Amino acid sequence: MLNFNFLPFPVLQTDRLILDRAVDSDAMELYLLRSNDAVMKYVERPRPADEHDARELNRSMNEKINQHEAVAWAIRLKGNPKLIGVIGYWRTKPEHHRAEVGYMLMPEYWAQGYTYEALMAVLDYGFNTMNLHSIEADINPDNVASGNLLRKCGFQSEAYFRENFFWKDRYYDSEIFGLLAREFKKH
């Protein structure tokens, strides 16, 4: 079984981005991200009601980081401290050398390659530092852009579950994508 250690917190850099730990001062941007209708269109999860709720969400994630159960990064443009998105391994399965990746980005930054850039850095960290064997992503199949991004990064569709997720009086389908360490190629 793998043992994860996310302390000191791993700061990742790409050509245009810095991925670092979200802090209390990011609460307003986190609230704006997690309450944005376009961002949350395919995310069947509770939305924060206000900046306080976003701060609690961040506190909860930081607790999981400190306990080595999960890791999440704030996505920032180099030279700008503003949080523009988040990415991380929300569910880790150390006994299976597997983790689930998730991401979201403010709409004004979509279609510019930022999520791809951040995801490739996080995949590299997952395979080469965390020593994962496989990484999965669970998406709403209607989220075509997310499915295309995952395929671009080398993921394959592994499963499609019909109406397996219940949220706010409705059933949703899920599509599971997977990527093995031996299939990962840094682009």
Distance of CA 5 to the CA centre of its chain: 18
**% pLDDT > 90, the chain:** 96
> Where does the pLDDT of residue 1 fall: very low under 50, low under 70, confident under 90, or very high at 90 and above?
confident
Distance CA 170, CA 154 (A): 31
Provide mean pLDDT across the span 150-159: 98
Confidence of residue 187 (pLDDT cuts 50, 70, 90): low
Q: Find where tokens 């523009």 sit.
A: 84
d(CA 34, CA 27): 10
pLDDT in tens, 64-109: 999 999 999 999 999 999 999 999 999 999 999 999 999 999 999 9
Quick one: 168 exposed, middle or buried, by C-beta within 10 A (0-12, 13-18, 19+)?
A: exposed
